[in-house]
Structure 1
Amino acid sequence: MPTPPKHRQAIVTAAATLFRRRGYAGTGLNDIVARSGAPKGSLYHYFPAGKAAIGEAAVRQAGALVERTLERLAAEAPDAGALMVSYCGWLAHWMGQSGWRDGCPIATTLLETAGEEEAIRAAGQAVMAGWVEVVAGRLVADGHEPEAAGRLAGFGVSALEGALLRARVERDAGPILEAAEMLGRLYRL
C-alpha cells in the first residue's frame, strides 16, 4: 500500500485558509510554505502546474467540507428550513470567532480567479453544484417539486454568499441570521 503524500494535505489546508483570508492574489507561495510547514520543494512536487493547481485543490477541499457539513445538518434537521437556520447559525458563530476575517471558504478565490483560471472556476462550479444538490435533496424530501427545489436551493446558496459578504464587511452576524430566517420561511411548505 503506497504511503500517503506527506505534505500535500498541509499545503492545501494552508492555502485554503490563506486564500479565504487574504485572497488568492494576496497569498504568495512563500506564505503557503510558511503556514503549512512543508518544504518549498513540496509545492512543486505535488503541484507542478503551480499556484493555480493549489487553488483548485483548495477550492475542492474547502467545498467538500461545506458539503459534508450540509449533509450532516440535512440528516439531523426536521426540514429544509431548519437545515438553513442551523447552517447559518454555525456560519455566524464561525465567522464571529474568526474576528470576521473568514468568510465563504471558496468565494474569495473564485472572485479573483474564475475569469482566468479555468480549473479553479470548474472546481468552484462543481463544489457549488454539490451544495445546491444537498439542499435541493432535502427540499424534495420535504415535498417540493424537484425543479422548484433546485431553483430554491440555488437561490439559497446565492443568498448565503451575499449574507456572508455583508457579515464580513459589517462585522456582524445580522445578515447571516436574516438570511437564515428568510430562507427558513421560504423553504417551509
Structure 2
Amino acid sequence: MPAVPKHRQPIINAAVTLFRRQGFARTGLNDIVDVSGAPKGSLYHYFPEGKSSIAVAAVEEAGRRVAETVAKLAEDCSSVGDLLRAHARLLAGWMQGSGFRNGCPITTVLLELAPRERAVSEAGRKAYAARISILREKLIADGFARPRADSLAVLCTSALQGALIQARVERSRRPIEVTATELARLIEAETERR
C-alpha cells in the first residue's frame, strides 16, 4: 500500500493562505514551510517543478473550495439573486475578518503568473469554469436560456472578483455588497420581463 501523502495538503493549504494574503512573488518557500509545518524536503518531493507547481495546486484547491461554497449556496438559495447576496455576505465577512488583508488566492496568483505559466493559467481557467458552470445551471433553473445564462454567469463571476479587489483597496465591504445587489437586481428585473 502506498504511503499517505502526509505533508502535501498542509503545503497546499499554507500556499493558499499565503498567496491570498501576500501574493505569489512575496511568498517564499521558507514561508510555506513555516506555515505548513512540513519539512522543506517535502516541498521538493511533492512539487519537484518548484514554486509554480505549488501555485497550480493552490489555485486548484482554492477553486475547489469556492465551487463547493457556490454549489452549497445554489442548493440553499431559491434564486440566483439570493445566491449572489448570500455569497456577498460570506465574502464581505471574510474580507472584513481578515482586516481586508486577504484577497482571492486564485486572482492574486493569476495576476502575477498568467499567461506565462501555462499550467497555472489552466488551473485558473478550470477554477473559474467550475464556478461559472454552477451559476449557469442555477440561472437555467431560474428560466434563462443557456446562452444568456452563460453570459450572466461570466458577468457575475467577473464582477465579484473585481469587487474583491476593490474591497481590499478601499478596506470596505461596500464594493462586494453593492456589486452583488446590483447583479441580483439586474437578473431579477430580466426574470420579471420574461
Q: Under a length normalisation based on structure 1, what TM-score does the superposition of the two structures give?
A: 0.98
Aligned partners of 2:127, 2:85: CA distance in 1, in Å? 21
Asked if 1:7 corresponds to 2:7, the answer is yes
Aligned partners of 1:116, 1:147: CA distance in 2, in Å? 30
The answer to which of 96-105 and 148-157 deviates more is 96-105
Aligned partners of 1:3, 1:178: CA distance in 2, in Å? 48
Q: By how many angstroms is 1:164 displaced?
A: 0.5
Deviations 1:44-81 (A, max 9, x none): 00001111110000000011000000000000001011
Deviations 1:109-137 (A, max 9, x none): 10000022110010001110111000011
Which residue is equivalent to 1:72? 72
Which residue is equivalent to 1:49? 49
Aligned partners of 1:158, 1:26: CA distance in 2, in Å? 25
Deviations 1:113-169 (A, max 9, x none): 002211001000111011100001100000000010000000001100111011000
Q: CA RMSD in A?
A: 0.8
Aligned partners of 1:11, 1:21: CA distance in 2, in Å? 15
Aligned partners of 2:105, 2:181: CA distance in 1, in Å? 22
Q: Is the 8 A contact 2:23 2:105 kept in 1?
A: no
Query: Which stretches in structure 2 are left out of the alignment for 5+ residues?
Result: none
Q: By how many angstroms is 1:2 displaced?
A: 3.5
In the superposition, relative to structure 1, how do residues 187 and 37 fare at CA in structure 2: closer, same or farther (>3 Å)? same
Aligned partners of 2:186, 2:103: CA distance in 1, in Å? 24
Aligned partners of 1:61, 1:113: CA distance in 2, in Å? 17
Identical-residue share of aligned pairs (%)? 51
Q: By how many angstroms is 1:82 displaced?
A: 0.4
Aligned AA (1:108): T
Query: Which stretches in structure 1 are left out of the alignment for 5+ residues?
Result: none
Aligned partners of 1:105, 1:90: CA distance in 2, in Å? 16
Aligned partners of 1:60, 1:104: CA distance in 2, in Å? 12
Which residue is equivalent to 1:25? 25
Aligned partners of 2:25, 2:88: CA distance in 1, in Å? 28
Aligned partners of 2:104, 2:10: CA distance in 1, in Å? 20
1:1-189 alignment, distance < 5 Å? 1-188=1-188, 189=191
Aligned partners of 1:113, 1:19: CA distance in 2, in Å? 12
Deviations 1:80-109 (A, max 9, x none): 110000001100001000010112231101
Aligned AA (2:155): F
Aligned partners of 1:55, 1:27: CA distance in 2, in Å? 11
